[in-house]
Amino acid sequence: MARKKSANQSFEHAVFGDEEAAAMRAELVELRALVAELSAQVHSQFTTTAAHAEIARQHADFIRDEAHAHVERTREELVGLLEQMRGGTRAPGGGAWAPPGPSAIATAERVGTMEAQLAKALDTVQYCFQRQQDLAATMEALLDTVIYEHRNEPVLRLA
């Protein structure tokens, strides 16, 4: 009787197939399609991100080059103006028939004003430098105190 049952089962299996195996195969095919789709999306995102990064790099290079050129132009203009002020020359275009430039008194006043502003700027920079040194000394003392307290060592205090 066991033979008959197995014969019936194999006949049914041949006709109807294994439903569980078919369901697993369908899930496997579906999962493979999903993985392939995700892989394509990841690749697309990577390509897009790389393109945006390259564009950003190019823009940064362009802006850096433009800023450098602007700084160079400004430096050259300042050097030219300083040379004009030191040499007492007139602005470009001044010739025999050109209108006279600023008077010597006005030029001296401008130079004096610029020198005063430069001296004030120098004093400010020196003051900032001194404050920076004071801050560094304070931070050093604070760190020393924290380290000594952490090690339970006595703190050396200057009177």
Would you state the pLDDT for residue 156?
Answer: 59
pTM of model > 0.75: no
The residue written with tokens 């790389």 in the block is: 50
Would you state the pLDDT for residue 63?
Answer: 87
Half-sphere exposure of 72 (CA within 13 A, CB side): 6
Would you state the pLDDT for residue 29?
Answer: 94
Return the structure tokens found at 51: 């393109």
Query: What's the farthest any 2 CA atoms get from each other in the chain?
Result: 131
Would you state the pLDDT for residue 36?
Answer: 92
Classified as helix, coil or strand, 102 is: coil
Q: pLDDT tens-digit profile of 118-155?
A: 888 888 888 888 888 888 888 888 877 777 777 776 65
- Go through the chain and tell me how many residues it has: 159
The answer for residues whose C-beta is within 8 angstroms of residue 85's C-beta and 6 or more apart is 107, 110, 111, 114
Distances (CA, A) of 136 to 37, 45, 126, 127, 157: 58, 48, 15, 14, 17
Would you state the pLDDT for residue 1?
Answer: 46
* Cα–Cα distance for residue pair 125/118, rounded to 1 Å: 10
Which stretches of the chain drop beneath a pLDDT of 50? 1-2, 159
Residue type, 39: S
Would you state the pLDDT for residue 155?
Answer: 55
Classified as helix, coil or strand, 40 is: helix
* Cα–Cα distance for residue pair 1/111, rounded to 1 Å: 122
